[in-house]
Chain A
C-alpha cells in the first residue's frame, strides 16, 4: 500500500497483471483497485503495455541478413555443442535478430522438449522402429564405416587406360611448374589440375579456362593430373599438422570435388563453416559442392541448396566472377531461364575478356535463343 494514499503498489499491480495471466489481490485491495480512479487508470495503462509487450513476438520474421549464422549453428547451440565464446555471440545475435530468434525458438523447442505420448506412438508406428529395418541399416552402416576410397579397390582395371593421361598430366604439370620457376601453392595446384582436367563445368577460383572432360580419370588416382596428386599430398600433410585450419579444410574440399566426391566436400566445408561461419569463399565452395552432388538424378533438390549458398556468397562478395558463373550455371540446369539470363548478364559485367567470358556468352546466347523461340525447358 502506498503510504497515505492507499493506492496499489508496483508489486500489487505487477501481481494483478501476473506473469502467466491475471493474478488476484486480497479483497480489501481488490475493492480499492475497483473504486479508485487513479489506480484503475494506472492498472489499465500497465495492462495495455503488457499487451503491447506480448504482441512483439507476432508478425513476419524477415529474411536472414549478411551476418546471420548458418542454420546448423543454432542446432549446435541448442544441442550444447557450441563453445562458450561462440555461444555468447549466438545468444547476443539471436536476441536482436527476428529471423534467428525465431530459428532458435523452434530448435530449442524441438531439441529440449520431451516426446509427447502421441509423438512416441507415431515414432513406434514407423518402419524404422522394426528390428529388421534397424538390422538392415546397421549392415549398411557397418559396410560404409569400413569403406576405403574407391580408387584403392578399382585402380587395376583402369590403370592401363589412364597411363597415357597420367603421363600427359605429369608433363603438363612439370612444364607449368618450370615456367613459374617456383613450387606453386596447393590452391594454385588445384587450379592447374582443374584446367588440365576440367572434370565439371563449374569454375573453381583462379583456374584458367578449359573444355569439360568429365570422362578422364574419374575414380582413379592414376588418371588424375599430377598437380592434383601433389596438392592432395600437401593438403594431407598440412591437415595432419593442423587438422582444424580452415584454409586446409577449404582446399581439401576443393580437392575432393576434383576427385568427384562432392559428399565429402560438403562434409569438409560444413566442418570449416563451424569455425568460420561467415566466410563467403566457404559458402561459394559449398554451393558448388551441392551443385555437383545435384548431378545425381536422385539429388536434384541439392540445386536449391547450391543456389542458397552461392547467393549468400554473392551477397557478401558480389564481384566474384567464379561464383556468378556457377550460380548462372545452376539456374540454367534448373531451367530457371530468366534467372540464368540475368545472372549470365551480371557475369559478363564482371568478366570483360577471355575464354570464360566467351563460354558465358555462348550460354547466354543459347538461353536467349530458347526464350525467343518460346521453347519449353
Chain B
C-alpha cells in the first residue's frame, strides 16, 4: 500500500481502521512539521528551547492523538481543506500548554487566583510602551464610544473588533485577516483600520481642543 498518496483524511482513516505501523509512520512523518512547529513556538513563549523537551512534547502529542483508540481522530469531523492540520495544531498546543501550566503552577505555589499563563502572554506583548492604567481605561472608554458611531450597523461589530485587536492587543493587520471568520483580506483589514483610526484620532483631538467645557473646535478636520 502506498500510504504517501493518500489525502490527510484518507490517511487518518487508514491509521484508525488498520492500525498498520507503516500507515502510522506516514502519519508521523506527514504531520510532524505542523506538530513540531506548534510545540516549538509554544515552548519558546515560555522561555524554553531545549531540543529534548521539544522532542518529548512532540512525542506526547502523537501519543495523545492515538490515546483511547484514537478518540481525537475518530471524533473529528473535518470542515475544510486544512482542518486536519488545524486539529494537529490544537492538540500540540494543548500538550505544550499542559506541560508548562502544570509545571509553573506547581513552582509558584498556585494560590487560588494565580494563573500561570503570565509568561505565555507576556511573550506576545513584550517590549511595548505602556500608559498608566487609569489613563488607558479612560481612553478605551472614549474610543469605544466613538467606534459605536463610525461604521454602518451591519459592519459595526466586526470593525470594532478589528480596531481593538489591532490597537488594544497589538495584532498585525495580516494576523487579523487570518483569523477565521473575519472575512476580510489583509488589505481590507488595513483599510478598515485606517478609516476607523482617522475617525477616532480626529474625534480625540476634537475632545482635547474642546477642553473641559466641551466647546467644539473650529480646527476640526
Contacts and interface: CB of A to CB of B under 8 A. Distances in A.
A and B bind: yes
Interface of A: 8-11, 13-14, 17, 19, 38, 41-42, 45-46, 49-50, 52-61, 63-64, 71-72, 75-82, 84, 87-88, 91-92, 94-96, 98-99, 101-112, 115, 119, 122-123, 125-129, 133-135, 137-142, 144-148, 263-264, 267, 270-271, 290, 300-305, 307-308, 311, 314-315, 334, 336, 339
A96 B161 CA distance: 8
Given A77-B180, A107-B93, A125-B51, A305 B102 contact: yes
B175 A108 contact: yes
Interface of B: 15-16, 19-25, 27-29, 32-33, 36-38, 40-42, 45, 49, 51, 54-55, 58-59, 62-63, 65-72, 75, 79-80, 82-83, 85-87, 89-90, 93-94, 97-99, 101-106, 109-118, 120-125, 128-131, 133, 136, 139-140, 143, 157, 160-161, 164-165, 167-171, 175, 178-182, 190, 193-194, 197-198, 200-202, 204-205, 208-209, 219, 221
B107 to A, nearest CB: 8
A61 B118 CA distance: 8
B138 to A, nearest CB: 11
Given A49-B201, A95-B164, A38 B55 contact: no
A133 to B, nearest CB: 8
A281 to B, nearest CB: 18
Main secondary structure on chain B at its contact with chain A?
helix
B41 A108 contact: no
A304 B116 contact: yes
Nearest to B105: A304
A220 to B, nearest CB: 19
Contacts of A42: 205, 219, 221
A304 B104 contact: yes
B121 A134 contact: no
Nearest to B195: A14
A109 B123 CA distance: 11
Contact of A137 (B59, B85, B93, B104): B59
Contact of B63 (A17, A122, A144): A144
A75 B45 CA distance: 15
B67 A263 contact: yes
Nearest to B64: A267
Contacts of B36: 123, 126, 128-129
A145 B73 CA distance: 10
A61 B121 contact: yes
Given A38-B219, A75-B90, 14 more contacts: A11-B198, A19-B197, A50-B197, A61-B125, A80-B82, A80-B180, A88-B181, A95-B161, A95-B164, A123-B36, A133-B55, A141-B28, A301-B102, A304-B103
B69 A145 contact: yes
B113 A63 contact: yes
Main secondary structure on chain A at its contact with chain B?
helix
A339 B105 CA distance: 13
B201 A267 contact: no
Contacts of B65: 141
A112 B177 CA distance: 10
B125 A102 contact: yes
Contact of A92 (B29, B79, B104, B157): B157
Contact of A146 (B19, B27, B202): B19
A77 B157 CA distance: 18
Contacts of B80: 80
Contacts of B67: 144, 263-264, 267
B47 to A, nearest CB: 13
Contacts of A108: 171, 175, 178-179
B86 A57 contact: no
Contacts of B165: 94-95, 101, 104-105
Contacts of B54: 126, 128
A-B pairs with the 6 shortest C-beta distances?
Answer: A304-B105, A79-B86, A58-B130, A59-B130, A57-B170, A301-B102
A10 B202 CA distance: 8
Contacts of B221: 8-10, 13, 42
Contacts of B136: 55-56, 59
Contact of A308 (B27, B116, B124): B116
B59 to A, nearest CB: 6
Contact of A52 (B37, B94, B131): B131
Nearest to B175: A108
A94 B85 CA distance: 24
Contacts of A82: 180-181
A128 B111 CA distance: 37
Contact of B139 (A52, A101, A106, A142): A52
Q: B40, B41, B70, B205 — which one has the most chain A CB atoms within 10 A of its CB?
A: B205
Q: B120, B139, B178, B179 — which one has the most chain A CB atoms within 10 A of its CB?
A: B179
A123 B101 contact: no
B21 A139 contact: yes
A128 B90 contact: no
